[in-house]
Structure 1
Amino acid sequence: MIKESKNTGMTTNTSMNINACERPENRTTVAPDPNEKDWMRRVALLLAGQAFSLLGSSIVQYAIWWWIALEWKTGWAMLLATLFGVMPQGVVSIFGGSMADRYNRKTLIMLPDLIIAAVTIALSVSFAVGWANLTVIFVVLFIRSSGGGVQMPAVQSFIPDVTPSDKLLRVNSVYGVINSANMIVAPAIAAVLVNLIPLWAILLVDVTTAVIGVGFVALIRVPEKARKQAVSDRSKESVGSRTFAVSIRGTLVDLRDGFVYAMGHPYLRGVILGDALVCFMAVAPMNLTLLLMTREYEGIDLNLGFVNLTTASDKLAANELGLSFGMLLGGALMSVFGAKLLRSSRAQMRMAAFGIAMVGVTVVGLGVAPNLLAYLVADLLTGVAAAACVGPMRTIMQSESDELMTGRVFGLDTTFATFAMPLGMLVFAPLADVIPISWVFIAGGLLTLPAAWYVGMLSRRETRPAA
């Protein structure tokens, strides 16, 4: 539901020995020694860098999407924004996972941020001089999304490189809390900035935070492991001698191997397909919450005591904040109690299934909410439910996959989920223009429940297939 990945060149022998690699006694890991004092510093630098990067990106994303929603107010406009803003990440992540396994992951985290900052400056200039239009915005969304297809697999693959294996669930939960905190701060800042300064100035916030984020990640020094260095050297040597066509064929082979590997593992198959189904059935309709807010609650004020929601930007910000506060709360609960209660992969699978079911129920709640206050409560609970399944899903993919396959697994997950959401939008967005939009949320939520049943059934299987 919320995506990422990695990848390293594999020889033919690796694909022939997948079952052997899957066994715990044969699995080699390059995770840092839990007793190593510097691992916390490396994790802190990585998470701090991502926090700044995500903050700026979120502020700009909210500002752009609100501009589209308020200017056009149609399902088709949101559909096109989703296709240009999400589909490229799905395509690029097909290769992004393989790149994360083959090349320097730290570089793959920093470089997209710098490129995205450059195109954001160009968009800012176009708004300042009056050249901006939907076409220009869609081009920038395309490039930003493409950068995410490279960066997100690299981030998720880099986390196990700097984190002891027994701390992965905690670090993933903290990462989820940081994401949620950014989503809380970002819409609040965006709502203030939209009423104070022009959009071209808001866009420059992303440039500043990207530079800061890249600086933090650049400070990370990961000790080279002998086997990892050998893999790196082999990859560099092969890259220098291969043509572009051969490189593409090698990537496709990596994808095939990753697909076979993941689909042969019941838990990996469960979280990847479960994630994709949720993105198709539930996340796609949730991308229409901006339309739901502007259509159903236009002209309706809500005084919460500490704040009075009157303007369109106030309500759009409240919509984002409700979901983000829920994800923050859910992530915090998973961080505190998850490591103690979800020690086995089977328990993590069951929690993922429960979280998916709750997402379905709460999305239905968004559609049947009788008033704005009830809607915001359902919105908050949706965030809690999402956090309850995202952390366990990431941990399963990191802990259950061999180190040489982790990138391919995350790349596959990112690809499936990223394609599923715009495909869902192709179904739900046009419907939102011909039927009551609340019905779209009810249908999406109900259709999510079978995905929870599927993941729950797989949790009864053995962790690893028999040899």
Structure 2
Amino acid sequence: MDNWKKKTALFLASQAITLLGSSLVQYSIIWYVANETKSGVMVTLMTICGFLPQVLISIFAGVWADRFSRKKMIIMADGCIAVSTLILAFIVMNTKDFFWALLVISAIRSVGAGIQTPAVNSAIPQLVPIDKLMRIGAINSSVQSIINIVAPIVGSGVLILGKFHYVMFIDVITAAIGISIFAFFVPLPKLERADGKELPGYFDDLKDGVSYALGHQFLRRTLIVCGVFCFLIVPAAILNELYVVRLFGDVFPDNSYLALAINAVAFFAGAIVGGIVLSAWGGFPNRLKTLALGGIGFGVTTIVIGLVSSFWLYLVVIFLAGFAMPFNNSPLMVMLQEKVEPEKQGRVFSLLQIVNVLVMQLGLLVFGPLADIVPLQWLMVGSGVGLLIMTVCIVRWKSFYREGVTLIAPLSDENEIP
């Protein structure tokens, strides 16, 4: 894998640049809806439009990532997202009633993300040696966190000093830059099937991928753990902006966007520090032990979020919550990259994305309306307790916990973990 560091750096840089623009739009839309409506139902509706289409397209995107050029898929998805955002900018410029457009374009952008995500996750192991995946994963997590610090700062500045549609033009520009870097400077090796057989029919490939994931005990258990985790983090991860607007919106009475920006910066600053620590350390040899450490950290901080009443103390806690996130995300992604056969990773990551998004939509349907009935603080405390219980269950689930130890040989029908 000659020059893998240079190729990986350019690949991550190209994705980071496009992510910056996408994050600006994402923050702006959610902030606008939360700030204008202060409604859990409306935030839920917008979030569902932003995520549910990923599930529908992911059914096919995983197979596409294992059959076709992952590079072309990533470029086309990024390009389509940018075009849809440009259309949204012109709609916002020319009409005052554009809430419907936010819903439609969010759904279109979600389709693009659903195609792009399994392709990106599957492309990384093609560039990075298997023994370097954890460190690269942690570095990538830190880079994304840096972007998620810059994005709310820039986004709030644009919303305060400029106009809503300005952020959309920035997204189009960053997409053009990121696509150009990836297209011209990052050659992605052609993926060869390990079994050497000819490509089967499309639906045979889809069935094979689902059977592969559900047929292995480790992968089945991983999907269950991911699903429970995604359900329990909905209050802290998705209803967070609504929480800040309701409880701390009067901290900056002249502009509530500033409180939202500071909130996002605090969380992702913690995630950067956490990613740097994990990158330098490398985590425990047992990936699930590292994940459990992150689960405890995120569970405790979620509980404390629901108990504090000072905005500035809340920022300290949300920083610590951000610190814990790489310890949850990176071990999980690396375990799959280490254990799943390269030519099947697209379908496995797609199935993981489907499970995560569907469960989060279920969580939104539960917690979103509840947020208009009971105090959000109660939901934070309850979900935090649930996260701690889940973490204890993972550690005590001995047969699964042992499977977190690094396995160099990918899972296959011949070496399935019992």
Q: Normalised by the size of structure 2, how large is the TM-score?
A: 0.91
Give the direction of change, closer, same or farther, for the CA distance of 1:462–1:330 in structure 2 (3 Å limit): closer
Distance 2:70 2:192 in 1: 17
Shift of 1:353: 1.7
Counterpart of 2:269 in structure 1 is: 325
Deviations 1:280-336 (A, max 9, x none): 0113443111111111113235xxxxxxx9630110001111111111111111111
- Conservation of the 8 A alpha-carbon contact between 2:214 and 2:220: no
1:222 and 2:166 are equivalent in the alignment: no
Deviations 1:366-421 (A, max 9, x none): 11112111211111111111111211111100001122222222112111111111
Counterpart of 1:151 in structure 2 is: 116
Of the candidates 323, 348, 353, which is equivalent to residue 287 of structure 2? Answer: 348
Code of the residue aligned with 2:179 in structure 1: it is: V
Give 1:419-434 correspondences, 5 Å limit.
Answer: 419-434=358-373
Code of the residue aligned with 1:53 in structure 2: it is: T
Code of the residue aligned with 2:187 in structure 1: it is: R
Counterpart of 1:394 in structure 2 is: 333
Shift of 1:111: 0.6
Code of the residue aligned with 2:171 in structure 1: it is: D
Distance 2:12 2:109 in 1: 20
Aligned residue pairs, count: 405
How many percent identity over aligned positions? Answer: 31
Counterpart of 1:286 in structure 2 is: 237
Counterpart of 1:133 in structure 2 is: 98
Unaligned ranges ≥5, structure 1: 1-31, 302-308
SS at match of 2:165: helix
1:106 and 2:71 are equivalent in the alignment: yes
Shift of 1:439: 0.8
Deviations 1:109-158 (A, max 9, x none): 11111001111111000011115522111000001111111101100100
Code of the residue aligned with 2:402 in structure 1: it is: R
1:366 and 2:308 are equivalent in the alignment: no
Give 1:60-209 correspondences, 5 Å limit.
Answer: 60-130=25-95, 132-209=97-174
Deviations 1:15-64 (A, max 9, x none): xxxxxxxxxxxxxxxxx3xxx2x211210111011110110000111111
Give the direction of change, closer, same or farther, for the CA distance of 1:224–1:77 in structure 2 (3 Å limit): closer
SS at match of 1:417: helix
Of the candidates 322, 336, 339, which is equivalent to residue 280 of structure 2? Answer: 336
Cα RMSD (Å) of the superposition?
A: 2.1
SS at match of 1:368: coil
1:452 and 2:391 are equivalent in the alignment: yes
Give 1:24-35 correspondences, 5 Å limit.
Answer: 32=1
- Conservation of the 8 A alpha-carbon contact between 1:285 and 1:428: no
- Conservation of the 8 A alpha-carbon contact between 2:288 and 2:404: no
Counterpart of 1:277 in structure 2 is: 228
Of the candidates 195, 203, 207, which is equivalent to residue 253 of structure 1? Answer: 207
- Conservation of the 8 A alpha-carbon contact between 2:209 and 2:344: no
- Conservation of the 8 A alpha-carbon contact between 1:258 and 1:408: no
Shift of 1:224: 4.3
Code of the residue aligned with 2:296 in structure 1: it is: A
- Conservation of the 8 A alpha-carbon contact between 1:285 and 1:424: no
Q: Normalised by the size of structure 1, how large is the TM-score?
A: 0.82
Unaligned ranges ≥5, structure 2: 406-414
